[in-house]
């Protein structure tokens, strides 16, 4: 069994910062890809950022320059540092992980609410 456990969500004012964490635990030693998706009310779930084991990253255009994804391979943990938050960043943020390049097992966290409001 593999679990993804998120933390760090909450309420923040526009322009503020939050740091999300997601730790993978269970039967595997490490994940190939870890990342973050988000889903705002009435919208499809979208990719926010991802990072592979080598450290290469990919960001949605809407967050590039404001968000930074990083990971600690030893702890199988991924982080999302969010700066300059905007009201449109309000969403449920989901941790996502894949354990291998080909035919991976895909895992999802339960989601954590991020609300940006004054």
Per-residue pLDDT, 33? 94
Task: Establish how many alpha carbons lie within 13 A of residue 23's alpha carbon, considering only the half-sphere containing its beta carbon.
Answer: 6
Per-residue pLDDT, 85? 98
Per-residue pLDDT, 20? 98
Asked if 31 contacts 23 with a C-beta cutoff of 8 angstroms, the reply is no
Per-residue pLDDT, 65? 98
Per-residue pLDDT, 39? 98
Residue-wise pLDDT for 17-56, tens only, equals 999 999 998 876 788 999 999 999 999 999 999 999 899 9
Residue-wise pLDDT for 82-110, tens only, equals 999 999 999 999 999 999 989 999 999 99
């Amino acid at each position: 069994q593999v679990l993804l456990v998120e933390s760090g969500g909450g309420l923040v004012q526009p322009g503020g910062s939050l740091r999300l964490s997601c730790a993978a635990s269970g039967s595997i030693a490490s994940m190939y890809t870890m990342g973050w998706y988000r889903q705002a009310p009435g919208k499809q779930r979208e990719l926010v950022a991802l990072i592979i084991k080598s450290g290469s990253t990919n960001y949605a255009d809407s967050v590039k320059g404001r968000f930074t994804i990083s990971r600690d391979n030893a702890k199988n943990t991924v982080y999302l540092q969010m700066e300059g938050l905007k009201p449109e960043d309000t969403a449920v943020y989901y941790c996502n992980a894949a354990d291998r390049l080909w035919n991976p097992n895909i895992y999802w966290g339960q989601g954590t609410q991020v609300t940006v409001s004054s």
